[in-house]
Amino acid sequence: MEHARHVFRVLLVLLLVIVVVIVGRSFLVPKSFGMYGNYRYDNVPEQMAARPPLHGGARSCADCHDERSAVLAKGSHARVSCEVCHGPLGRHVKDGDVVAKMAIDRSPRLCGNCHRKIDGRPPKFPQVVFEKHVEGGLGPKGCLDCHDAHSPKL
Amino acid sequence: MPEITGYAFPNDIHVHWSLMIVMYPYITGFVAGSFIVTALYHLFGKNEFQPVARLSLAASFCFLLVAGLPLQLHLGHPERGLFVMITPNFTSAMAGFGILYSFYLMIVMLEVWFVWRGEIIQTARRSRGLKRAFYAALALGTYDTSPQALEIDHRAVKVLSAIGLPSACMLHGYVGFIFGGIKANPWWSTPLMPVIFLCSAAVSGIALLILVYQVTAKLGRRVIQADTVSAMARWLWFFLIITVTLELLEIIMLAYENSEEWHIISPLLTTRLQFSFISMQMIIGSLIPFILLFIVTVMNRYLHEKVRNTLTVMASLLLLLQVFSMRWNVVIGGQLLSKSFRGLRSAYEPHLFEREGILVAIVLFVLPFVILYVFDRLLPIEAPPGAHAPDPHGDAPPAAGVSPAA
Amino acid sequence: MDEMPKGNPPPEPAAQPAQAEVSRRDFLARALRASGGAFALLAGGGAIASDGERYDWEAHRWAYLIDTEKCIGCGSCVRACKAENGVPDGYFRTWVERYLISPEASHVDSPNGGMDGFPPLQTAFEPTKSFFVPKLCNHCKETPCVQVCPVGASYRTKDGVVLVDGKRCIGCGYCVQACPYGSRFISPETHTAEKCTWCYHRITKGLKPACVEVCPTATRQFGDMKREDDPVRLAIAHGRVVVLQANLLTEPQAYYLGIDMEVR
């Protein structure tokens, strides 16, 4: 075997490299990796705190605007969350303080998102062909000439 | 914004796997293909391959060094590339890459070392200073060139070839598996995919070696061995036939079964991939080389050497195109169809200058040849006359002309 | 591998869903503020979060129900999702598809994911049925995206949500390719894979995902399979629900009602 000394040498070098790689790797694995599966568990709390919730839900609006909510609750838009038309609460209130006015979009386009007649909507859902709905076209205030957005009965 | 025909899922309009992911199997294909050629000599005793055995081993090594680069360049976070080794997820085909790659790199490096060991020692013996230190370090300090030691080297090379061949096949088969194992994509999801990748790797590897062999021989003013050329042409033809058969089978099966998938793949092939699949991969890349190699193989005896060389070179060039088109059609083609099965995206065109652009792809293709050139300067690829015997020419450095990529 | 803190105790279970008794207003003020670790379950358990709120991920298994017959295609959910999660333009964590179908032909579209609602559409054929289908990540049980992630950046939590660890994701895009539903994308901003999280930052605080919160027709519903009386659980348990591309056996946890065979 004296002529195989170079073989042992190269194998030794190899072994050294493998050990260095394995040891080096173990330092680089994140601490919580593998706690519950092949992933970094710390990411779960990170995901929970990824960002503050932006949408508050309809009932959160009632905390300050209960008169509006009361009207809304009695009408046919009762199930339409305020944020559908007004946008997310988080843009209006932050940490309990009002930071910006709530967006109010009075354009027929907004109403049209739900009520313009197009293929695809359930037939029973109230929808109109804008061009035919009002004789002579929509007035200056659009849909709001006749409808109250919060209680849109005729 | 890409044009969409039909309906594509809105996130499906992006080609996330770009030109780099086309280059990646292309380059690993050369790695595996070249190694197959070495193995034909070392393992299967095909002595016609003796003149290219060292060249193909060196080529496999040089392409291997570059193989990981396109992947790295394509990552959204290249700096995290090593995570694949640090926290591998073994249910992922891609995680196997780190391990297979390192293992194969180890095997090839060992084989290179054993093949060139005698020459490393000789160079160390007759050099001085830094150069001597470098080669002495390469030789790991043992200067044993006794016949017994060289016999051990010889056996080691054989064993390493025997381990290396399946490793090379695994390395490249797994590249096919990356695509073949994606059940979401009908153009990729087939068990044939790894086999097709492997066979076309052999095609590209042999084709490349034919070219490199002829070029280096011309540059080194050496005789091009007719035996070697016709043997390589024969094997190239064989692998071409298998590859194209499998490629066609895959499509014919889909078409014949007339599955849901076929209704999106058929328009994909005839519209978006019309040029790259039908014209390039099938006609220019497969049919014409098939005919050329048919002539070389069947009428070998009647061919003038120059004609044979020209025909095989032409066929090899076209086959390099074929294999590139195949990689392109798989990688890019699979992303032009939406998983809605209802829409096709307009063709993907890489830019010239971008991280994953054409220029980088060209650099990636040229880089292994540069490395091969450096390799040749350090460890001459062309064996000195009477290899393993003390070099009669003393310390004359290898002539620049020997270098394969000058 | 061996030095991983396998032995650490799991987070202590919380007795009841987070905010039940807290006044809505207080809760919201707190929820909107809680950008830090207030609600976090801390790795290694032990420590109690500053305000005592705990979320026990073993006490829930979330599921999603989409009653397509109720969908009016208003796009509120898509807009809410974009706002809530800061989804980059041109990419979608959720979107709405419109199907116009006749026995002879079909047409599907989703202009800007349905974000701006749907314009009236003239098709070359006369549709005999038409409907909208909201789409989002199905949070599959046997999820192909987690399977293919090479670095363990994608994973499925114990409460049944498929998430991406943005700090481990290398942006290879393999999961994007592997998802049969087109739910994932590589964000041009973070260069990592992103997808619907079922608003994990909300559901772990007792809120609903933003898309469910704003859905005016209750097309989208979110529920807990571990609660026997949960309406979503009841609907899935008793109703005739389907999942998308069931043939792939990915076991989606987003269930559909009233869907047509044209929908993939």
- Encode pLDDT of B171-214 as tens digits: 888 899 999 999 999 999 999 999 999 999 999 999 999 999 99
The count of CB pairs under 8 A between chains B and C is 127
- Please report all neighbours of B, defined by 3+ CB atom pairs within 8 A: A, C
The pLDDT value recorded for residue C13 is 40
Cβ contact, residue pair C40, A88, below 8 Å: no
Q: Provide the residue count of chain B.
A: 406
Q: Which pair of tokens denotes residue B282?
A: 């099938």
ipTM: 0.91
Taking residues B282-308, report their average pLDDT.
94
Q: Which pair of tokens denotes residue B340?
A: 């809605």
What is the identity of the amino acid at C106?
S
**Position B186 in a domain:** no
**Could you tell me which residue, C52 or C98, shows the higher pLDDT?**
C98
C189-218 pLDDT per residue, tens: 999 999 999 999 999 999 999 999 999 999
Taking residues B254-259, report their average pLDDT.
93
Total of domains in chain C: 1
**Please, how many CA atoms are within 13 Å of residue A47, restricted to the half-sphere of its CB?**
28
Q: Which pair of tokens denotes residue B393?
A: 């020419």
pLDDT band at B273 (very low <50, low <70, confident <90, very high): very high
The pLDDT value recorded for residue B386 is 54
Q: How is B258-283 classified by DSSP, letter by letter?
A: T-TTHHHHHHIIIIITIIIIIIIIII
Rounded to a whole number of angstroms, the CA Rg of chain A reads 32
Nearest to C150 by CA among B257, B233, A46, B96: B96
C92-123 pLDDT per residue, tens: 999 999 999 999 999 999 999 999 999 999 99
Question: Which of B16, B175, B182 is most worth mutating to test chain C (most C CB atoms within 10 A of its CB)?
Answer: B16
**Position B191 in a domain:** no
**Position C154 in a domain:** no
Q: Is the pLDDT of residue B388 over 90?
A: no
User: What is the DSSP secondary structure assignment for residue C114, as one 8-state letter?
Assistant: G
Residues near C190 by Cβ (< 8 Å), separated by ≥ 6? B76, C166
The enclosing H or E element of B203 equals helix B192-219
The helices-and-strands tally (H runs, E runs) of chain A is 7, 2
- Spatial separation of the C-alpha atoms in residues B120 and B137, rounded to whole Å: 10
Q: Is the pLDDT of residue C87 over 70?
A: yes
Q: Is the pLDDT of residue B249 over 60?
A: yes
Residue A95 buriedness (CB in 10 A; 0-12 / 13-18 / 19+): exposed
> Using an 8 Å Cβ cutoff, are C72 and A119 in contact?
no
B129-180 pLDDT per residue, tens: 999 999 999 999 889 999 999 999 999 999 999 999 999 998 888 899 999 9
**b or e along C80-100 (b: 16 or more beta carbons within 10 Å of the residue's beta carbon)?**
bbbbbbebeeebbbbbbbbbb
Q: Is the pLDDT of residue C164 over 70?
A: yes
Q: Which pair of tokens denotes residue A151?
A: 């209680």
Q: Count the Cβ atoms, other than its own, within 10 Å of residue B259.
A: 12
Q: What average pLDDT is seen over chain C?
A: 85
Compare all CA atoms of chain C with the CA of B332 and give the residue at the minimum distance: C177
Query: Which stretches of chain C are assigned E, i.e. beta strand?
Result: 62-67, 94-101, 106-109, 129-136, 154-156, 162-164, 185-186, 193-194, 220-224, 254-257
- Spatial separation of the C-alpha atoms in residues B291 and B285, rounded to whole Å: 11
> Using an 8 Å Cβ cutoff, are A130 and A122 in contact?
no
B43-89 pLDDT per residue, tens: 999 999 999 999 999 999 999 999 999 999 999 999 999 999 999 99
Calculate what percentage of chain B has a pLDDT beyond 90. 86
Rounded to a whole number, what is the distance in Å from the CA of C132 to chain A's nearest CA?
6
**Position C51 in a domain:** yes
B254 and B173 both lie in a single domain: no
**Position C9 in a domain:** yes
**Please, how many CA atoms are within 13 Å of residue B252, restricted to the half-sphere of its CB?**
6
B273 and B149 both lie in a single domain: no
What is the identity of the amino acid at A76?
S
Nearest to C151 among B6, B87, B338 (CB): B87
The conformational region for residue C175 under phi > 0 = left, psi -120 to 50 = alpha, else beta, is alpha
Question: Which SS3 state, helix, strand or coil, does residue C56 take?
Answer: coil
B152 and B244 both lie in a single domain: no
**Domain extent for C14:** 1-56
Going from N- to C-terminal start, the domains of chain A cover: 2-48, 58-145
**Domain extent for B54:** 20-180+351-393
- Spatial separation of the C-alpha atoms in residues B263 and C106, rounded to whole Å: 14
**Position C20 in a domain:** yes
The pLDDT value recorded for residue A153 is 78
B13 and B27 both lie in a single domain: no
B149 and B262 both lie in a single domain: no
- Spatial separation of the C-alpha atoms in residues B366 and B300, rounded to whole Å: 33
Compare all CA atoms of chain C with the CA of A81 and give the residue at the minimum distance: C214
B295 and B332 both lie in a single domain: yes
- Please report all neighbours of A, defined by 3+ CB atom pairs within 8 A: B, C
Compare all CA atoms of chain A with the CA of B107 and give the residue at the minimum distance: A14
Contacts of C152 in chain B (CB under 8 A): 87-89
Q: Is the pLDDT of residue B96 over 90?
A: no
Tens digit of each residue's pLDDT, chain A (154 residues): 688 999 999 999 999 999 999 999 999 999 999 999 999 999 999 999 999 999 998 788 988 898 989 999 999 999 999 999 999 999 999 888 899 998 899 999 999 999 999 999 999 999 999 888 888 778 888 899 889 999 887 6
**Position B205 in a domain:** no
Nearest to C81 by CA among A112, A101, A88: A88
**Position C109 in a domain:** no
- Spatial separation of the C-alpha atoms in residues B239 and B236, rounded to whole Å: 5
The pLDDT value recorded for residue B205 is 95
Total of domains in chain B: 2
Q: What average pLDDT is seen over chain B?
A: 91
Strands A93-94 and C220-224 turn out to be: unpaired
- Spatial separation of the C-alpha atoms in residues C178 and C92, rounded to whole Å: 17
Residue B89, φ and ψ in degrees, nearest 5: -110, 105
Q: Is the pLDDT of residue C34 over 80?
A: no
Q: Provide the residue count of chain A.
A: 154
B152 and B55 both lie in a single domain: yes
Calculate what percentage of chain C has a pLDDT beyond 90. 79
CB of C188 within 8 Å of any CB in chain B?
Answer: no
The count of CB pairs under 8 A between chains A and C is 200
Question: Which of B1, B4, B9, B331 is most worth mutating to test chain C (most C CB atoms within 10 A of its CB)?
Answer: B9
The pLDDT value recorded for residue B212 is 95
**Position B2 in a domain:** yes
